[in-house]
Amino acid sequence: MKAVFYTESGGPEVLNYKEVPDPIPGPGDVVIDVAATSLNRLDVLQRNGWFQMPGFSYPHISGMDVAGTVSEIGEEVTNAKLGDRVVVDPSLAGVSDNSSLSGRGDLYGELGIIGANADGGYAEKCLVPGSHIYPIPDAMSFEDAATFPTCYLTAAHALFKVGKLQKGETVIIHAAGSGVGVAAIQLAKNAGATVLATAGTDEKCERALGLGASHVMNNREGDLAAWARDITQGVGVNMVMDCVGTALFGPSLFALGVHGRLVNCGNASGDEAVIPSLGYVFHSGITIHGSDPYEPSEFEPTWKEFCSGDYKVEIDSVYPLENAGEAQDKMLSGDFFGKIILNP
C-alpha cells in the first residue's frame, strides 16, 4: 500500500509518500481501506518534534480520524463484514486481548491512539481493533465521517463529562474555527446552552454564528471579560471551554461568574499560563479543570448524536494523500475553518 510516513522530525520535507507493507490483522482486528482521514494539530506537532505522545516511535504514519471500508476481518471479529462503511474510534482504551493493538489502554499513562503512537490513516489501509468501528449512515460521506472522532469526542468530553454543562447555562468557546470549536459550538447549542464564541478573525466569528453561537468576538481585539459580562448583564458566564491556553487563560478566568468553571483541553498558544488574581478565583469559587482522555463508552452515544442530522459539517479543504505536507502547512498557518481532509 501507499502511505505517508516520516522517520525523523522536521518540516514537510521529512514526509515520505512511498510503498509500505500492508497491515496484517490479528484475530480481533479489521483492516480498513481508508477513504478519508482528517488532520489534527498533533499531526504537525509530532512531525516537527515539538511534542510527541508517550509511546511515539519512528517510522510513524499519522492520521487519527479514519473513515473507510472494511477489507479484511480477523477470525474472531463478529461485528463486521467485508464492505462495511465505518468510522474508527482512535483511542486504544478498552481493546480486547485478541487484538494486536491490545495492552495500550492506560488513559493516564501510555494510552495508544491510532495515528498518534500507532499507525494511522495517512495510508491506503489502516489496522484497527474490530471493537472500535462504527457504521456510517448511507447518506453520510466518508469525508463528513472523518471530521468526527477526535474533535467531537474532545469537545463532548470537555463540555459534559468534565465541565458538567447544563441546559440554560452560558459557555464561552474559543477557537471557533478549529475542528474542536466547530464541534463544541454545536454540541453546546443542541444541549440548550447559550454559546459565546471567539476566534482570531472577523470572518471566523461570522461563520460561528451560522453554527449556533449567539454572540461572537474577535479574540485578538477588545476585552474578553468585559464583553462576556456585558452580554450576561454583569453576571459572567458559567463555563469557558479553552483549547487555546496561554493567550486567553487570564481573560477567560475573569469572564467567569460565581462558581464558574474553566475547562482546558488544549495549549495551542503555549503551555504556560498565569492566574492573574488568586483572590478572584477563591472569592468567586472558580474551578479550573483539565479535560482528560475520553472513555470508550463515550464514543458510541456521541457518534449517534452526530448522525442525528442536527450537525453541520465544516470541511475547509480536501487534498490527495501525496499532498499531505501542503495540507499540514495550511493547518499550521491557521488559515482554515473546520477540518482539512486527506483522500488516499
Cα separations in angstroms, 37 against 101, 142, 222: 20, 9, 37
204-245 tens-digit pLDDT: 999 999 999 999 999 999 899 999 999 999 999 999 999 998
What residues are paired with 196 via a beta bridge?
172, 215
CA atoms within 13 A on the CB side of 229: 15
80-95 tens-digit pLDDT: 999 999 999 999 999 9
Q: Residue 190: what pLDDT?
A: 98
Cα separations in angstroms, 184 against 22, 152, 158, 174: 36, 7, 9, 9
Distance CA 323, CA 93 (A): 31
Distance CA 220, CA 282 (A): 28
Distance CA 338, CA 204 (A): 10
Q: Residue 24: what pLDDT?
A: 97
Q: Residue 271: what pLDDT?
A: 87
Which segments of the chain have a pLDDT < 70?
A: none
Q: Residue 222: what pLDDT?
A: 86
Q: CA gyration radius for the chain?
A: 20
Q: Residue 287: what pLDDT?
A: 98
Q: Residue 63: what pLDDT?
A: 98
- Domains, the chain, in order of start with CATH, read 2-147+313-343 (3.90.180.10), 151-290 (3.40.50.720)
Q: Residue 268: what pLDDT?
A: 86
Q: How far is CA 333 from the centre of its chain?
A: 18
pTM: 0.96
Cell readout for 106 is 492506560
Share of the chain above pLDDT 90, in %: 97
Distance CA 136, CA 92 (A): 20
Q: SS3 for the chain, per residue?
A: CEEEEECCCCCHHHCEEEECCCCCCCCCEEEEEEEEEECCHHHHHHHHCCCCCCCCCCCECCCCEEEEEEEEECCCCCCCCCCCEEEECCECCCCCCCCCCCCCCCCCCCCCEECCCECCCCECEEEEEHHHEEECCCCCCHHHHHCCHHHHHHHHHHHHHHCCCCCCCEEEECCCCCHHHHHHHHHHHHCCCEEEEEECCHHHHHHHHHHCCCEEEECCCCCHHHHHHHHCCCCCEEEEEECCCHHHHHHHHHHEEEEEEEEECCCCCCCCCCCCCHHHHHHHCCEEEECCCCCHHHHHHHHHHHCCCCCCCCEEEEEEHHHHHHHHHHHHHCCCCCEEEEEC
CA atoms within 13 A on the CB side of 121: 33
